[in-house]
Structure 1
Amino acid sequence: MPRKLKVFRTAAGFYDAYVAAPSRKAALAAWGAERDLFARGAAEEVTDPALMEEPLAQPGTVIKRSRGSAAEQFAALPADRPKPKRVAKARTAKVEPAPPPEPAPKPSRDALDAAQDAIDVAERDWRKEQRELAARQAALDRERRDATERHEQALADLDRARRRAQEDYDAGLAA
């Protein structure tokens, strides 16, 4: 047994769109609505038998009826706002365009150059100090070598003296 049909109406521009459907959901689908027009108050169920006759004869089909005559629709439009008056241009007086603004001056490189110069001086001083330290290190290395050679020579001389003394002692014991 088919469900009982109801007639629903929504506004569609200058027309009212009627549809006979078993439910609100089916009416929304027939209208192609993405949102619930009933919850917004933009759609309603129709109970007037004169308005229900044509949609019930064609269930599921959207029937459009004009909301009134063209004169009534034009009368419902808001009144036109007065257009602003145009100011007449004086043809004799030419207005010269304002001169373009002067470009901003280029930024100064002085601070950047001073910073780079300070870095260069610091690098040069560091390299000089490294050379001086390397020279001092070389001098210390020479001193160390010379001291080591003197020490080894002194030990060799002392060792020879000790061996001679040992030989003299051994010869004295043997005699």
Structure 2
Amino acid sequence: MARKLKTYQTSLGFFDLAIAAPSMKAALEAWGADSNLFHQGAAKETDDPDVLSATMAKPGVVLRRPVGSDGPFGEYAELPTNLGDGERPKTVRKSKSHKVKKPSPRTVDKATERKGLVAFEMEQKRRERERAREEAAKQKERERRRGAVDKAQAALDAAEREHEEKVAAIQAEAAALEKRSRTENVRWDKERERLEAALQRARG
């Protein structure tokens, strides 16, 4: 049996948020909340007629209004005008000691309820497709970056191998020159001794 849509409300950042959803979990997912705002007392189910009519007209769509205001909810909302000195506005919380006005009972027929649930599911699927597209785009970007990194790493490795080969060749040439130098010094020492001896004999 399909669950009925309920309207939930919270405040995040500079906006009050409201949504018609079949459960608190669905509302939290639509808001993108990473914690249970209901358990924290930062979110609630509301029966405010104005909020109900706005959310039931667009089930599954996150509606906004400037935080702390009493204006109507809509898909798009301007930033609060009472920020003052760059400070974030504070959400006005009603005191628990005040009597809560009992809301008028909801008069949503079953056909409207079913239509709302279908609209909610369509909006939920749209969000899922959008998230899937975003994730696919991120994955593609990650793969592109990985390919660029692999290509750059391969070029670096190849250049390093070439450098090491050249250094090894130079070192081999230097070793050969050093050997030739030592051989020449040995030959010269012997030749010098022979010539000096000949010179000594000539001097008598």
- The answer to whether the superposition gives a TM-score over 0.5 is no
TM-score (norm 2): 0.35
Structure of greater Rg: 1
TM-score (norm 1): 0.40
